Amino acid sequence: MPTLRRRLAAITAVLALSVTGGAVTSPALADPRENVKVPTATGYGGAVSTVDPEASAAAIEVLRDGGNAADAAVAAAATLGVTEPYSAGIGGGGYFVFYDARTGKVGTIDGRETAPATMPTNAFIDPTTITPANPAGSPYPFAQLVSSGVSVGVPGTPATWVRALERWGTLDLGEALEPAIKVANRGFVVDETFRQQTLDNKVRFSAFTPTRELFLPGGDAPAVGSIFQNRDLAKTYRLLAKEGTDAFYGGPLAAEIAGTVQAPPKDPTWVGPDPVPPAPRVVIPAFPGYLTTADLAGYETIDQAPTHVNYRGYDVYGMAPSSSGGTTVGEALNILEPFNLSTMTRPQALHYYLEASALAFADRARYVGDPAFVDVPTKDLTDPQFGKERACEIDPLLAATPKPVPAGDVATYDGACDLPPAAAANESDTENISTTNLTVADRWGNVVEYTLTIEQTGGSGMVVPGRGFLLNNELTDFSYTSTSPTEPNQIEPGKRPRSSMSPTIILDEGKPFLALGSPGGSTIITTVLQTILNRVDLGMTVSEALAAPRASQRNTASISTEQEFIDAPYLDELEALGHVFTKAGDGLTSLPEIGAATAIEFGPEGQMTAAAEPVRRGGGSAMVVSPG
């Protein structure tokens, strides 16, 4: 198979010989920037869906050049590190799910970040708040903690790329990085989403010198329509292409990453902007963190089996803990299985969806953490009998109140409706809405669903000087206010924080039917669940299922809801059943949206329909190798 490197060299040679009217053909014209977003594409030979057309084009380039889905997924992910740097990149982590057409099996890679070896369990507690009246102390303000070294976990994304290529790919890392290096060097067209996300982070980005220099040139976010280049990241990618991930987890770059965490590069002269009363002035102490070069050198991804449930005859595979996505989506589907939702009205079906989600989230909070540290009852949580018993809690005529509802008891269940629930388990999620997701399939039938993140939009806000990428603030996914040793998501050295990322692959009689995933913090779970409900039970097309208005019930008194859902004609009937809705928006971004999903559905005779969000986060980009 010709490599991308040879292919690009051949293109360069052709360009050098192409002369019209005495002028050499412009490489910019031969290699146009991808900035047109098409949310749905149907065709053959391979397909991709991402949030960004440059990333989708990178994947298509690899597929057309003979690469497979794993190769194309790494190429797309690396390109998203260029074009969507506030949501993903080599400073973060994620979960990679792969359907192998040769074996018919689904495998996964846990590339989640880990807590440094010296991180104490009370790292989030402000010691000045410890008093005789408050012996446990109180946590630092969340907004201060995220923009600091304390929040930075050991990145897993570069190791994930290499492991995916080793297990399933045909390219080496250098070849897979070529499209992203090209985009980083020549630049991409700034859209409204990129500019707005930069403005949303302008205050804290301005506090860190290398971040300000990269993302706030001249003191402002890049203008819509301008070209944004990240040549520092291109150099970093070239380093990884040449030396592999040893250059990231060791050597000078590892020392620079650790140095950035331990001594955040805050401008000593920085002062937050004058506040608008009654808001206080923004304060960013930039607390030093714990990550060391030894932590980087010791990082490893984990190969593990997926979660699995059967829903309406489909085999649904997801990500096992440390992610809570596979267990929670799977349990909710098991709760819904006894009910014939397809015969119900839309508000009736949505009522069951919302109640099932609340029950599954109760069990998520009670039981799920990093299985290397916590005895997670994954088998029980995804047992159809446990789901059937939890389904007994749903009243068809009334939403359960008050919420949060109690967790179920995984120690004693038999599917009958005669056992009392266990004690309540609830916590406030601090997992942020930013992340990105991609879906890829190739001509041989291999499928990738990959969710990756740097946590909050903009991560920790800290760019590694001269390297062009942001570090994550992933450790804030640990339980923020609890230091109890019985809390499954408590901070512990070397532990992976619980995640909601839910990359999902659904098979029909052993063959791919639907692959999907989404960003969105803890709303990822409900986005994937509601999309499956829309497609399988409510009969929507895959594009309609992604576009439909969303509501996210995470075992809370009120349901986070998009405006389009609030405006829908079925809202009154749901409110009459006792559901309480509030408009989505976490106060950290200006986008009151839930998720930004990607999906591919597989039809007869090799047909593929790639679907991306038509509007959310500025819309997504679906492409196929061969249309029609």
Which residues participate in catalysis according to the annotation?
A: 435
Please list, in sequence order, all residues whose beta carbon lies within 8 angstroms of the beta carbon of residue 609, skipping any fewer than 6 positions away: 40, 41, 42, 47, 541, 542, 543, 600, 601, 603
Q: How far apart are CA 164 and CA 68, in angstroms?
A: 11
Which token pair is 292? 């060391």
CB 603 within 8 A of CB 609: yes
Q: How far apart are CA 328 and CA 382, in angstroms?
A: 8
Helices 231-243 and 173-186 pack at an angle, to 10 degrees, of 170
CB 594 within 8 A of CB 550: yes
Q: What is the 3-state secondary structure of 168-237?
A: HCCCCHHHHHHHHHHHHHHCEECCHHHHHHHHHCHHHHHHEHHHHHHHCHHHCCCCCCCEECCHHHHHHH
CB 46 within 8 A of CB 619: no
Opening angle at CA 163, ends 69 and 305, nearest 5? 85
Q: How far apart are CA 550 and CA 570, in angstroms?
A: 13
Beta bridge partners of 162: none
Q: 558, 455, 560: which is closest to 501 by C-alpha?
A: 455
Q: How far apart are CA 309 and CA 312, in angstroms?
A: 10
CB 428 within 8 A of CB 481: yes
Report phi then psi at 516, rounded to 5: -160, 160
**Cα end-to-end distance, the chain, whole Å:** 25
For 554, half-sphere exposure in the C-beta direction (CA atoms, 13 angstrom radius) is 26
Q: 408, 434, 598, 558: which is closest to 500 by C-alpha?
A: 434
Which token pair is 513? 């039917």
Which token pair is 189? 């067209």
Please list, in sequence order, all residues whose beta carbon lies within 8 angstroms of the beta carbon of residue 425, skipping any fewer than 6 positions away: 362, 363, 365, 366, 367, 404, 406, 407
Q: How far apart are CA 100 and CA 97, in angstroms?
A: 10
Question: Exposed, middle or buried by CB within 10 Å (0-12, 13-18, 19+), for 302?
Answer: middle
The letter for the amino acid at 311 is Y
Q: 91, 102, 73: which is closest to 152 by C-alpha?
A: 91
CB 191 within 8 A of CB 34: no
Which token pair is 395? 């009243």
Beta bridge partners of 44: 626
**Helix/strand number for the chain, H first, E second:** 22, 22
Q: How far apart are CA 188 and CA 52, in angstroms?
A: 10
Q: How far apart are CA 142 and CA 154, in angstroms?
A: 20
SS3 241: helix
